[in-house]
Structures are given as structure tokens and as C-alpha cells.
Amino acid sequence: MTPSPLKGRSCLLMADLSTPEIRYLLDLAKEVKLQKRQGLVTQRFQGKTLAMIFEKPSTRTRAAFETAFAEEGGHPVFLSKDDIQLGYKESVEDTARVLGRMFDAIMFRGFQQTTVELLARWSGVPVYNGLTDMAHPTQVLADLLTLEEAWGGSLKGRKLVYCGDGRNNMSHTLMVGAARMGMKFVIAAPEPLFPSEDDVEFCRQIAAEEGTELIITSDMQAAIEGADAIYTDVWASMGEETLLHLRKQILKPYQVNQQVMVSSGNPACVFLHCLPAVKGDEVTEEVFEGPQSRVWDQAENRKHTAKALMLATLL
């Protein structure tokens, strides 16, 4: 492990990470993935503890952080919203100060971005955003690793197309991650679900610095032409379930089906989904289970990238 530029840091937003820092994390993730494959047992978190706070349910994020931390000899502690008083009986600031005295790091999954920001400010230990309504940076690290593996090399200059809800946590975070890594990023979404102008402007500046571009369009066919990867996510995110009926109506033209994969004109185009997926809505069973799908590599890579992030910030 080369000296980390991220020691002591939190990861709250994708924008917190510079291009060289993302590069460092992806390389470290590849290293720990190989070590795991080789059966190497390492105990780099021995004597350390990780608090894992969940306001929303999770399969991958919990499993990734918990197993990654435990495999390195650390002790992860799962704290669901029903078990602790966060935000209703005790302020976030007070909970943060208590956890900061007892744990070496905190992972948070929940609703508001301000909660994870407060945890970081008041705990004094590294805090990892395991999904908020605004961002999902630890997912995007796994997505970038998966794409590098799928393409056998650099992300720069590749075209990544995101189809669906253009204003949710995934599109927001992918937009930053793609720009940082010099990828051409296209969001295909109906206009009411376009990302905010401020977010687009922020990412366009990063994209320009990295010599690439960011396109937001409602024209699905134009968006997917020449795509190297097509990504989608659920049409109604956690906490937005009541909007699903309306979303189905406006998002139907943005479903990723076999016709869409073929229309990319690139037989090597890969399909990604952060999961969990609603098959029949944002993606068809055929694409999800098809030869272009990389969703299981992507899910596995959550663990290796989570481990890399914790190693880089804690050691």
C-alpha cells in the first residue's frame, strides 16, 4: 500500500474526491480484490471499530462495509434507526460526539445529506456516506472499478449513458464521478427529471477541466448512440415510493431493453445497475440477465472499494 492521500478524511460526496484520489482508491481496490482472490489474510483493522448507522434498508452497502471491515480484523457495529435515538431523542451533533469517542469511523445511510455532514463535523472521525437522498459515492467508486475491469483499461474518453431519474442520488453522483475521470456522461431523462442547473454547471466545469463533456437530453436515441456503457436505477428511490405510479408513466420511454442495447450500435456496450432492480420497469429481464450485464461484478466491487476507502482513510 503506497502512502494514502486520504488519511483521516471522510467521503461525504463524490466531489470530495479529486481525480488522483479516485485513481488511488481504484488502484487500491484492485490490490485488495486480488489479495482476497489469493486468500491472503490481513488484519489491518485489528483493534478498530466501525459504527454503521442505517435509517434506510440495505443489502449491498451493509454487506460490503461489514464484511470488508471484519475481514481485516476490525469490529463493525450495526446501528439501525430503530435501535438508536439519532435525530429524534438525541441531536445528530450529540450522537456524533458519543460515537466519535467510541469508534474509529462511521458509515451512514439515510435521508438527509445534512445528517452525514453533521456526523463528520461533530464526530472527529472519518465518516462514509453509504447513500443519502443526494449522493451515493461509495457506489460510484464500485461502478468506476467495474467499468475499468469491463473495458480492460482507462475510463477517459469513454461514453457512459444514464437512463431514467436524472435527479436522484445515483445520477447526481455518477455525473461527478464520470466528469472527474474524463468520461463523456449523458443523462437521458424526461425534462421534469433533469438534474438541477447548479449541479449541471458544477459538473460541466469539472468535465471541461478533464477535457470531456456532460450532456443532458430527453432524446433517448441520440443519448445511447455509441454508448460504451448504459446505466439505470430504480424509477422511485427509497422514500419516494408514492411517486412510482407517475414515474412509470413518464419514464417508460427510458427503459433499458434489448432494443436500446442494440441501438447503441456498440456490441461491446455493457449494462450497469446499482441494484436492487425492478425488472420490467427500468430494465428488462433480458438485458439484466444478458451477456452485456455486469451487475454482479458491480455488486461485488462494493466490498473491494469500501475496503480500499477504509484502508486509505484509517491507516
Interacting residues with ligand NVA (CB under 6 A): 131, 168-170, 233-234, 237-238, 274
The residue behind cell 482476497 is: 36
- Cα gap 35→43, rounded to integer Å: 12
For residues 139 and 173, which CB has a smaller minimum distance to ligand CP in the complex?
139
Q: CA-to-CA distance for 157 and 95, rounded, in angstroms? A: 44
Closest CB 170 distance from ligand NVA, rounded Å: 5
C-alpha pair distances (Å), 17 with each of 70, 140, 185: 25, 12, 18
Annotated catalytic residue within 233, 247, 294, 298: 233
Minimum distance from residue 152 beta carbon to ligand NVA (Å): 26
Contact present, 299 and 275 (Cβ < 8 Å):
yes
Active-site residue, 139 included? yes
- Minimum CB distance to ligand CP, residue 60 (Å): 4
* Burial class of residue 50 (count of CB atoms within 10 Å of its CB; 0-12, 13-18, 19+): buried
- For ligand CP, give the closer residue by CB, 43 or 59: 59
For residue 113, indicate whether it is catalytic.
no
Q: Which does 169 bind (CB under 5 to 8 A by kind): ligand CP, ligand NVA, none?
A: ligand NVA
Q: Which residues bind ligand CP (CB under 6 A)?
A: 58-61, 131, 139, 274-276
CB nearer ligand NVA, residue 106 or residue 274: 274
List the single partner that 168 binds among ligand NVA, ligand CP, none, CB under 5 to 8 Å by kind. Answer: ligand NVA
23 is catalytic: no
Active site residue 75: no
How many of the other CB atoms lie within 10 Å of CB of 297? 16
Measured from the CB atom, the residue of 184 and 294 that comes closer to ligand CP is 294
Q: Which entry of 139, 255, 292, 298 is annotated as an active-site residue? A: 139
Q: What are phi and psi of 58, to 5 degrees?
A: -165, 145
Q: Which does 170 bind (CB under 5 to 8 A by kind): ligand CP, ligand NVA, none?
A: ligand NVA
274 in active site = yes
The least CB distance from residue 5 to ligand NVA, in Å, is 27
**Cβ contact 305:312 at 8 Å:** no
Q: Which residues of 197-228 are buried (b: 16+ CB within 10 A; e: fewer)?
A: eebbebbbebbeebebebbbbbebeebbeebb
Three-class DSSP labels, 264-289: CCCCCCEEEECCCCCECCCECHHHHC
- For residue 40, the minimal CB distance to ligand CP (Å) is 26
Residue 38 neighbours by CB distance under 10 Å: 7
Smaller CB separation from ligand CP, 216 or 238: 238
Catalytic residue numbers, as ranges: 109, 136, 139, 233, 274, 302
